[in-house]
Amino acid sequence: MTALPHSTDVDLGAPELAGRIEGDTLIVTINRPEKKNAVTADGYHGIKRAAMIVADEPALNFLVITGVGETFCAGGDMNADQNPDRRWDAFTESYDGTPFETLGKIPKLVVCAVNGIALGGGLVMTLFADLVVASDKARFRVPDLTRGVYEAFVAARLPQRLGTLRANHLIYGNDWIDAAEAERLGLVGKVVPHDTLLSEVATLLDRVRKTGPAARAAMKREMARALPPVDVTGYWSSIGTAEQIEAFTAFLQKRSPEWPPVNNDRAAFVHTRRPIWLPPQPD
Question: CA 10, CA 50: separation in Å to the nearest integer?
Answer: 9
Mean pLDDT for 24-51 is: 95
pLDDT at residue 20, rounded to an integer: 98
pLDDT of residue 51: 98
How sure is the predictor about 81, in pLDDT bands with cuts at 50, 70 and 90? low
Q: How far apart are CA 114 and CA 122, in angstroms?
A: 9
Residue 175 pLDDT greater than 90, yes or no: yes
- Give burial (CB, 10 Å; 0-12/13-18/19+) of 191: buried
Q: Sort residue 94 into left (φ over 0), alpha (ψ -120 to 50) or beta.
A: alpha
How much is the average pLDDT of 61-84? Answer: 84
Query: What pLDDT does 88 receive?
Result: 61
Identify the pLDDT of residue 91: 65
Output the pTM of the full model: 0.92
pLDDT digits (tens, 9 = 90+) for 126-152: 999 999 999 999 999 999 999 999 999
Instruction: Report the SS3 class of residue 201.
Output: helix
What pLDDT is stored for residue 144 in this prediction?
A: 93
Report the pLDDT value the prediction gives residue 266, as an integer from 0 to 100.
Answer: 87
Domain with CATH 3.90.226.10 in the chain: 7-230
Q: Which position has the higher pLDDT, 84 or 104?
A: 104
Kindly state the percentage of the chain with pLDDT values over 90: 81
Lowest mean pLDDT among 86-90, 112-116, 239-243, 262-266: 86-90
Q: Residue 57's pLDDT is what?
A: 97
User: What does the mean pLDDT of the chain come to?
Assistant: 93
86 band by pLDDT with thresholds 50, 70 and 90: low
Q: Which CATH architecture has domain 7-230?
A: Alpha-Beta Complex (3.90)
What pLDDT does residue 267 have? 86
Which residues are CB-contacts of 132 (< 8 A; sequence separation ≥ 6)? Answer: 111, 112, 114, 126, 187, 188, 189, 190
pLDDT at 271: 86
Count CB-CB contacts under 10 A for residue 40: 25
Average pLDDT over residues 40-50: 94
Q: How is the beta sheet containing 139-141 ordered, strand by strand? A: 71-73, 117-119, 139-141, 177-178
Alpha helix (H) residue ranges in 77-196: 100-105, 121-128, 152-162, 164-173, 179-185
- Confidence at residue 92, expressed as pLDDT on a 0 to 100 scale: 66
Predicted pLDDT at 80 = 56
Residue 161: pLDDT above 60? yes
pLDDT over 80 at 87, yes or no: no
Residue 33's CB is within 10 A of a number of other CB atoms, namely 14
Whether 73 shows a pLDDT value over 80: the answer reads yes
Closest CA to 68 of 103, 39, 92, 33: 33
List the beta strands (DSSP E) in 6-78.
Answer: 7-10, 17-22, 25-30, 62-67, 71-73
pLDDT of residue 244: 92
CB 66, CB 111: distance < 8 Å: no
The span from the CA of 151 to the CA of 96, in Å, is: 15
> Do the beta carbons of residue 139 and residue 115 sit within 8 Å?
no
Q: What is the reported pLDDT for 263?
A: 79
pLDDT tens sequence across 204-224: 999 999 999 999 999 999 999
